[in-house]
Each structure stands twice: as structure tokens, then as C-alpha cells.
Structure 1
């Protein structure tokens, strides 16, 4: 099992694009040890196909002419930590596969179809007014441009391509490329690739919009929260019926990065037997099989595992939390089989 130290190192590598260094990404990276790796978009060689596209002046991904900006819908009230306002215009033909939120930001993973049969993948993040400006890395070039009629910066180089701007309300929005299914080997047309890359980022940026706040839903609804326990962050992925992944963090007051007091909760597709993971069977919880025991090699945290429908539900305890406390928390919660997506509820009353 991956150790927390290894997972924290993974977190640091992605911290620059994370909505929240204390919650969402911490939980998401811990969750990576318990879930299947997302499919990676592999590069394919277009060869003559790309050359022909360049020769006739027809972009492979999107038209170079920028679409008219999509008006943003202003939220009708301030967003709470367990709410989303960030979205993509459904008419843009861009698929949203995963999303997440915390008190300090919200994000989307989006996919744009290409002529290669593989998707262009990007990360869209939004931060409230006052969030520090996104800085360029050494070796990156910064060009001034425009997005949704607002001044924007195009950061590129050092294996990163990103558009960053602020909307009229002061929110900082960024669109960062995550996977580009075009050739970059000898003979590839770099200027053509750069043009297509930038045009696709622009297409996504123009489709970004804000809506009225909406609660994120998951297959758990908690009962009373004791000792100041509160929502920390959450990410959700169920872009395919056979694949569900929910990562959530519940925090205690005054939690610190060097002594984190939080409960990490993971819901992932697949049935698991806790005894095969070194856990001990405990009485069923709300009619579902359950196991409890140490969380890997970590001596300060324990794991409560439940089999709910077609998914495994894991509670990783906060340091110092007793077995009875975590069992009480799960017993008082409403548990919903993960495959019943339409029945999911907001996790906090």
C-alpha cells in the first residue's frame, strides 16, 4: 500500500493547479492509492494526416476563429465549500468527466474530441477574488491575449500550456492542458501543433461559465456531526456508468498541515474483501458488510471498509479517533449504493 509520505510528495507535484492545498487535492492524492489509475491519453502519430491538414489550412481539432464569448451567469449568492458554480456551456461539445470543490476553489476535468479518436484533456480551475496570481515557471513564455473579452495570459513552455484570466467579478480562472493527442517527435510540425493547442485551450476558455450554486452529491448523507467536524473538500467522477470515484475530506477545527485532523472518505467501483487487506470483520453497518483495521503501515490512522452495492466505501480515520467514533459516524449516515447515481444526495444536511 502507498504510504502517506509518498502520497504527499505526489500532492506537491500538482499543488500549483490544485484548488486547495489543505483539502481536495490532499484527499484526491490519498485516494489515488486506493483506486485505479485513470486512463492515460496516449500520443498517436498522425504523420501525413497532420501535414495535409496544415497544407490545406484546416485545423485538426477546432477552427482557429474564436467563437463569441458565452455570457457568464452570475451566482445568486456566495458559494459554500460543498457547492459548485463553475460549469461548461453544454452547447460547446466539451465533456466534463470529473469535478471537485473546497472552500478555496473549484475545478473541472474536461475532454474535447479530436480527429485522432482521442480526447484533448484539460483542467479548468476557478478561485475567488484575492487568490494569488498564477505565476510562470522558469523557462515559460507569457503572452498577453484575451479570453471572454477580458485580458488574459497565455503561459507556455516547460511542458505546460495554460490560459489564465480574471472575470469581471475578480475570480481567477485557468485552463491548463493535461493531454494533447498529437505527435511531438521528429518530423512533427511544431508551429501547427502550437496553433491547435492554443486554439483548443481558447475553445474551452470561451465555454467556461458560472451558474447559481448547486450542491455536490454523493452516495452518503451524514447524520449529526460532532466535535466540530465539518466539510473540507470533495471530488466526484462518474463519467462512465461502470466507473465511480468519490473522494471527500471531513476536517476538525484547527487542523494543520503538519498534524492533519481529518477523515478521508473514498467511494470506488469494485467489491473488496477486507480480510484480504488485513482487516478484521466487524458487525454489519446499516445492513452492509464491514471490516476495520490499520491503514497500511500508518500507525496513527485506521480504516473502516464497507461494501455498499457495487462499490467499496472507505473511512480513513483522523489520528486519535477511536473505532467506536468512526463506526458511529458511518452508522448514523445514510448509505446509498454508488450505482444509483440519481439517488445520490448532498453529504451534509
Structure 2
């Protein structure tokens, strides 16, 4: 049998297997997939593509969706709960390993929800239960059904609240759900630099809460205007800090963060004593130092060549998330300080 005939036979066999009912063709690890799903966080959030991001234990194989603690988490599709805290037994939910969920969907795919809330309301005591009481192994859930709440459990205790979301195809391969999450309406902040305060559309004032308020508080604290805790809630202390900032920089003092106050905050917060801010496209010795520091701390910035490219940007964002800094990809004084560069 000639090699051409052998090749035809092989291709025909592959086509037949692929067309068989129930046939499963494995995808590549980390393959970016486009599938229909409900966005898993029902509330204000932000995320960027962090699949393959460097971690102390290796590479990140999921998407971190940042949101306030206790933001509802919903099932991305219909299916049956397979694991609660890695237990398949409804009578033994591994409470000491709270809080994670795994759902096996009707089409054979699986969705994983990690770092769910494990704290008593208003605390960080690790004594709470961030999964809906009715959710147990073997229970059927529908797409969009409320199943849990965002938190910081497991090895995320020292990071900002978020869920680590994984998607696995029917063969068990972990794929990259980034495109699917964007299509589902997720608030993607992209992989390029973006300032969360300046880029926000709404006026910030007393009584509001969310990721943009947390960014505001973080910025004020960084400039020496205490807000009484970076919690994402615009209360009286945050309002007083805004007014003090406005008075100090000759802005109209009204406690409301509009365009001029946002611009002043965004411009000041990214400058250090040298006025240098590193971002995608930057070049030189400072970038080389940045890359070396990131690599030494386990965040893969690639070759320390002094060019701030996509791999360096991804490493910066991963580091900022890991250290609970705002993940905007801009390397100003706070990121430099956390890296030990200043």
C-alpha cells in the first residue's frame, strides 16, 4: 500500500471518528474557545486575559474575574453539581476546604468556580460559607442560577476578591474561556494600559460602591489622603478625602469625582520622583530592571531585553493582581515599590 493511500485511509478514519455521535475531540491546553455561556459574575466586575500568567506555582490556567466580595456568582450553563469543595458526597462538603464548585454541564463541559466567599459578613475570618445552601453534589442547576458569592478563599486570602473561573472541555482539557467571557458580556479591561479611574464613565460620589470606587480610594491613599480603608464603598471618609484632595490641588471642592478630579488623580498617581511611568512600548534600562525583577519573583516577563512588550505587560498585570494592586499594566511608584525597584 503506497504512502498516499495510507494517508487517505488515516484521514478517512479520523473524519469518521469525528462524525460519530458522542465523539470527543480534545482541544489543546489553553486553546481560546468561543462557546455560549452566561457570564459567571452577576454584578460589577472587571477582568483581562490572565491565562498563562506567571504564578509562584507555575502558570495560571483560568480567568480571574475581579469583583466585590459577596457579588453573586451564577452557573454559566445548565448541568449537575459534581463537586463542592472537591467533595462528591452531599453528606460531606469538606467545609474545611471552603469554597469551590464544579458543575458538569449537559454537553459534557465543566465549569470551575474557585475562591468563593468563606467569611462571616463584614469580616475576613474564614468562618463563613459562600455557597448557596441548596447547592450540593448531584443537584441540578440551570443557566444563570445563583449558586455562590465572590470571595477570597484558599490561596487568594491576601489578594483582592475575585473568582478563578475555569472551563474544561468534555475530554477534561483546560481551555481558555476568555473569548467566551467577552462574548457573554464581561467587562474586559483589555491587555493594554487603562486607568480605571479616568476611564470610568460615571461620576463618583457618596453612597456608590464598586471597582471604580476602590480604584479611587487606592489612588487617594497612594497620594496621602486617607479614606479609612480601601473597601470599594464611597462613604463619609472617602468623601472627606476627595474634598481634601480637591482643595489641595485647586479644584472645585464638592466631594464629587468628575472629569477634572479624575484627570488630576490619574495623572498624579502614576508618577514617581523621576516622573517616569513604564508601560507597553517603553524601552531602556528601567524596563530591563523591571523584567529582571518580575522574572526573579516568578512572573514570566520573558528575556530582559529592555523592551516592554506583550509578555512583560502580561507579567506586570499578573504581579499587580497577585499583590492586590490595581491591574492596569502601568508601572508607577506603587508597583515599583512592591517589586523592590525603589
Q: TM-score per shorter chain, which class?
A: under 0.3
Q: TM-score, normalised by structure 1?
A: 0.26
Q: Which has the higher helix share?
A: 2
- TM-score, L = length of structure 2: 0.26
Q: Which has the larger radius of gyration?
A: 2
Q: Higher strand share goes to which structure?
A: 1
